[in-house]
Amino acid sequence: MFEKKSLVFAAVFTIIGLIAGLVISSNFNFLSKAYTEEKISKEAIDTLSKIGNAMAEVAGAVRPAVVNISSTRTIKTQGMPSPFFNDPFFRRFFGDEFGSNKPRERKESGLGSGVIVDRDGYILTNSHVIKDADEIKVKLSDKREFKGKVVGIDQKTDLAVVKIDSDNLPVIKWGDSDKMRVGETVIAIGNPFGLNQTVTSGIVSATGRANVGIADYEDFIQTDAAINPGNSGGALVNIKGELIGINTAIFSTSGGYMGIGFAIPSNMAKIVMESLVKKGKVVRGWLGVSIQQITPELSKQFNLKEEKGVLVGDVVEDSPAEKAGIQRGDVIVEFEGKETNDPANLRNMVASTLPGKEVSMKLIRDGKTMTVNVIIAELPAEMQKVSGTFENYLKGVHVQNITPEIRKGLDIPKRIGGVVVTDIEEESPAEGVLMQNDVILEINKARINNMKDYEAVVSKIMPDQNILLLIYRNGSTVYITLSAR
């Protein structure tokens, strides 16, 4: 009898539980539906839908003009001598090349992006994407592939122009990068990790970024739109689908995306491209001054009301600046109506000005504001750097003539001539032997007075030929050799 009652009670409780579950479930669904309807209004959904559709339209319009660039280059490496090199037994089985320290070649592939900016096949990309390439392949969004030809390279801005034999190609309209404001929405398009036509979005995090250490002339747009390896040379566009930057580099401690990417402004890229296409080189403006940042201490010493402008530390003899009456100690506050609060910023503005153009500059001298007109000249050849493209042990070494500013800054005696080392690329045969700011006086006992001498001598040195250098370093002259390691 007790067992029958227990079964009845159990059945009753089970039925009650099922009913309660259905009621709770029904109420939960009702509440969930009510909560959803209450929190996401039709207006919000419509607004987000419009934003999403707008972003999709912009991306769809510009994607066809972004291409994949793959390059192949030959890398020469020095073999390591083996202690068994002269052993006939090993040479019999492994060949005469076993253990040889002769240079060896290997193929290295690279991936990047590019932007079609002309219907006749001109493509803008980064110089590091196609640097030293033996072969360049360009893949369009419609899967067509073309062989790319280098029109010109400007390592000072890390820009290059590649041409393919086609016409009536999709292009991106040029935008005005000077009008971009911090906080504006931007879209980055490229081929990160070889994944074609990848689109990311973000905002402009900062403008006018310089002293990043990527190129000689820096005026980067900083963005948080995801940029990863392979994005280099791709497009950064505004909400109108206009090109406002060429994606170039990222700031990362891991090698991957960390929220900080840099793009070369479209206005700078356009000037460089037009110069490369029309003249085969980049013609830059020159003012002829040494400038430095204004600090709080300097601001007090020069009686400046505000801590702005750049200070003129020296004026080159017979330069445009000297002819216009600019003096040491002047503070340049405006260039063509634009404020100049950073030396790199002024340097970029001058370099982007066509030689022969007269510009207006506002400066402060002895507490008084004055305006001067300057006719910008072309940057003299002796002040430009020689890139290390020679196929010998001086490959990757960049040098420059010794200017009055360099002589003064490095405290080089007047009796010392030659060329100064400005940079040594990674994996250069001279890395670890030559140093930045070394002055090369002789190469293989041939006197070097300037870059012309340097190029003439170095261009005749064979790839495997040892090089004897006489250099000036830290107040004394020493001989060093570059040879197989």
- DSSP secondary structure code for residue 112 in this structure: E
**Residues ≥6 apart with Cβ < 8 Å to 483:** 393, 466, 467
**Residues ≥6 apart with Cβ < 8 Å to 394:** 388, 429, 430, 458, 461, 467, 482
User: What span, in angstroms and rounded, lies between the C-alpha atoms of 118 and 136?
Assistant: 18
**Which of 71, 113, 154, 158 is labelled catalytic?**
158
- DSSP secondary structure code for residue 382 in this structure: G
- Residue 345, H or E segment: helix 343-351
Q: What are phi and psi of 266, to 5 degrees?
A: -60, -35
Q: Are 469 and 481 in contact (CB under 8 A)?
A: yes
Ramachandran bin of 159, using left for φ above 0, alpha for ψ from -120 to 50, beta for the remaining angles: beta
Residue 172: both structure tokens together: 């991106």
**Which of 113, 128, 205, 428 is labelled catalytic?**
128
Q: What are phi and psi of 313, to 5 degrees?
A: -90, -25
Q: Are 116 and 171 in contact (CB under 8 A)?
A: yes
User: What span, in angstroms and rounded, lies between the C-alpha atoms of 423 and 380?
Assistant: 20
**Which amino acid, residue 112?**
G
Annotation says 128 is catalytic? yes
Helices (H), 386-466: 404-410, 451-458
Q: Are 148 and 123 in contact (CB under 8 A)?
A: yes
**Which of 232, 266, 275, 428 is labelled catalytic?**
232
Radius of gyration over every alpha carbon of the chain, rounded to an integer in angstroms: 31
b (16+ CB within 10 A) / e for 249-284:
bbeeeeeebeebbbbbbbbbbbbbbebbeeeeebeb
What residues are annotated to the active site?
128, 158, 232
